[in-house]
Amino acid sequence: MPYAPAELEKPVTVQTLRRMKADGEKFITVALYDAPMAAMAQKTGVEAVLVGDSLGMTVLGYDSTIPVTMEQMIYHVEAVARGNRKSLIMGDMPFMTYATPEQALTNATRIMQAGAHMVKIEGGAWLAETVRMLTDRGIPVCAHLGLTPQSVHKLGGYRVQGRDEEQAGEILDDAAQLDEAGADLLVLECVPASLARRITDIVSMPTIGIGAGRDTDAQVLVINDILGLTETPPKFSKNFLEETGNIPGALRKYAEDVKNGIFPDASHTFE
Ligand code: KIV
C-alpha cells in the first residue's frame, strides 16, 4: 500500500530505526535547524532530524562547515528539541571538537545535554576508539563516510568519493570497523550507489544516504534544498516546493517519495 505521511505517534529511538532496517522499511531524515521546521517534521512523520553543521552555510552564510562552533550547534539543537518531541534528534559535532576520544566525550556531553539523542561525527576507522568511548558511556553515535565536508580542503573539493575500487574498499573497510566499534547509524554522502548498497548489506547499523542512491536504509536531505533555497543545488537534491507550492506539502512529498521508492531516481544518483 502506498505510504501516506502522518504525525509520529511515539518517540523514535535507535531501536525503532534498527527494526525498520530489519523490516526493509525506509525511514526519513531531514537536516533542519529551528523549532518550527522541527515541529513540522514531527507532524509529517519524519523519523529522524539532523541538526547538521551545514547550518554554517544554510543559516549563517559561511562558505564551509569549518567555522561552526559548539555554541552555535548547541543553540540550534536546543531550538530543534523545543519544537520536536518525537523524531530522533541527531546533533553534529563541529570541526575539530572530536579530535581525541576525551575531547569527543566532553563535547558530545554538551550536545546531548542540549537535547540531542545522538551525535554525528565525520571520519573513518580512526574514529573507532571514539565510537567505543561514547557508546560505552551511553551516547549513541552516527558515523559519516564518503564526502565528509569538514575535510573539504583535504579532499580537494566537494566531490563524489569511492569511485575507484581502492577508495571504495577503504570506505567499505571504514564502515565495517565503525559498525564493529558500535556506531548506531551511518550517513553515506556522495558515493556511488553500488558502494552504498554493498555497505548497507554488510553493516548491522542502518545507513542514511545523501547522494548515495536509493538502496540505503534511509535518505536525508537538507531542508534548504527541499524548499528550493539553495542557489546552486547539488545533483542529488530535489526542490519539492516547486511541485507542491507550500512548505508542509513539500515535506510530505519528500517523505512520500522516499517511502514509496520514487526519490532518489537515476538523475540524483552517482555511478
Ligand atoms: O551537516 C549536514 O547537514 C549533514 C548532512 C548533509 C548529512 O551532514
Specify the ligand 1 atom closest to the Cα of 210: 7
Is 124 inside any structural domain? yes
Is 210 inside any structural domain? yes
CA 42 centroid distance within chain: 16
The C-alpha atoms of residue 20 and residue 15 are separated, in whole angstroms, by 9
Is 7 inside any structural domain? no
Q: Whose CA is nearest to atom 8 of ligand 1?
A: 52
With a 6 Å cutoff on the Cβ, whether 53 touches ligand 1 is yes
With a 6 Å cutoff on the Cβ, whether 203 touches ligand 1 is no
Is 196 inside any structural domain? yes
The pTM for the full model equals: 0.98
Which residue ranges are tagged as binding site? 53-54, 92, 120, 122
Other C-beta atoms within 10 Å of 80: how many? 26
The whole-number pLDDT of residue 55 equals 98
With a 6 Å cutoff on the Cβ, whether 148 touches ligand 1 is no
**Contact yes or no for 259/234 (Cβ under 8 A):** no
Question: Which tens digit of pLDDT belongs to each residue from 101-130?
Answer: 999 999 999 999 999 999 999 999 999 999
Is 126 inside any structural domain? yes
| Residue ranges making up the domain that contains 79 | 14-268
Is 1 inside any structural domain? no
Number of domains making up the chain = 1
Is 132 inside any structural domain? yes
Is 177 inside any structural domain? yes
The C-alpha atoms of residue 97 and residue 88 are separated, in whole angstroms, by 22
The whole-number pLDDT of residue 4 equals 86
The whole-number pLDDT of residue 119 equals 99
186: Cα within 13 Å, side-chain hemisphere: 36
Question: Which tens digit of pLDDT belongs to each residue from 185-196?
Answer: 999 999 999 999
The whole-number pLDDT of residue 2 equals 80
The whole-number pLDDT of residue 145 equals 98
Which CATH number covers residue 42? Answer: 3.20.20.60
Residues with pLDDT less than 50, the chain? none
The whole-number pLDDT of residue 157 equals 97
